[in-house]
Amino acid sequence: MNRATLVKNIFKKKSLLCVGLDLDIQKLPEGVTPLEFNKAIIDVTREYAVAYKPNLAFYECLGMEGWRLFEDTVKYIGNDHFIIADAKRGDIGNTSRYYAQTFFETYPCDAITIAPYMGEDSVKPFIGFEGKWAIVLGLTSNIGAKDFQLLPIDQGKLYQEVIRSTANWGSEENLMFVVGATQAEMIGEIRKLIPNHFLLVPGVGAQGGSMEEVIKYGLIADGGLLINASRSIMYASSDMDWKEAAAREAALMQTQMAAFL
């Protein structure tokens, strides 16, 4: 999906919502299969979401059955929503090229999350596929972010140099950056570095990030944000009303977003 189509969908739905499909089989309702659960979550959130983000860790741990589940889930989402493979790959050369081929050709994903630690030749193999995106880890919201990302360097902080340099390896049409919602106050500084790139923002919902703060600092003329919620939607209820609860949570977030679009 190219940028123009993504932006069109955002304003058509008045939504920045990305639903994270973090499938925890320990939390499934009794008698519901993993694929039935994913399909149900997708069905009740389609009208509110512009993107879905299956987290590969929850699928790879299931072996071959997990890969089939991932494939069936991605196919079920279809072409009308932006699909992010949250795989956090990070390697170079042929390895990265085959990772890109996996998620852009073998599976019909629009984007993949990647770690840029190994430098330009770990990012470039993901760029150049028409309508496909590399989503680079920029500033994460975990406790360990301070270990490296926030280290001071001559130009400011290490994460700022990572974002500044990486932005030159692609364009606003094929590069996004991950910025954690709990780091919302830093999004303003990041916008000075990349004023027009899309940001994928996890951490709203169960992780406690503020949607209003993220939008305040990160929203641009054509949206420029995909705000992810996973557990707060998928597991909004553990009772019989789990589908209705997921729909209510997604609808609430979309309504809050619409006020800014």
- Cα-Cα end-to-end distance for the chain: 21
Domains of the chain are: 3-258 (3.20.20.70)
State which H helix or E strand residue 225 sits in.
Answer: strand 225-229
Asked if pLDDT for residue 206 goes beyond 60, the answer is no
Asked if pLDDT for residue 173 goes beyond 90, the answer is yes
Confidence of residue 110 (pLDDT cuts 50, 70, 90): very high
Asked if pLDDT for residue 153 goes beyond 80, the answer is yes
Q: What does the pLDDT average to over 120-125? A: 93
State which H helix or E strand residue 226 sits in.
Answer: strand 225-229
The CA distance from 261 to 258, in Å, is 5
The CA distance from 221 to 227, in Å, is 16
SS3 call for 69: helix
Report CA-CA distances (Å) from 84 to 4, 134, 191, 241, 247.
17, 9, 22, 27, 21
pLDDT for residue 208: 64
Asked if pLDDT for residue 140 goes beyond 90, the answer is no
Q: Which amino acid is at 72?
A: D
pLDDT in tens, 57-109: 999 999 999 999 999 999 999 999 999 999 999 888 889 999 999 999 999 99
Provide the pairing of β-strand 156-157 with 152-153: antiparallel
Q: Is 88 a catalytic residue?
A: yes
Share of the chain above pLDDT 90, in %: 80
Q: Helix 211-218 vs helix 242-258: angle between axes, to the nearest 10 degrees?
A: 40
Q: φ and ψ at 154, to 5 degrees?
A: -60, -35
- 222 vs 145, higher pLDDT: 222
From the list 14, 39, 88, 124, the catalytic residue is 88
Q: φ and ψ at 186, to 5 degrees?
A: -90, -10
When mean pLDDT is compared across 34-43, 161-170, 185-194, the lowest value belongs to: 185-194
pLDDT in tens, 3-62: 999 999 999 999 999 999 999 999 999 999 999 999 999 999 999 999 999 999 999 999
Report CA-CA distances (Å) from 167 to 124, 135, 137.
11, 11, 12
Asked if residue 130 lies in contact with residue 104, where contact means CB atoms within 8 angstroms, the answer is: no
Q: What is the pTM of this model?
A: 0.95
Number of C-alpha atoms within 13 angstroms, CB side, residue 54? 30
Q: Helix 184-193 vs helix 158-167: angle between axes, to the nearest 10 degrees?
A: 40
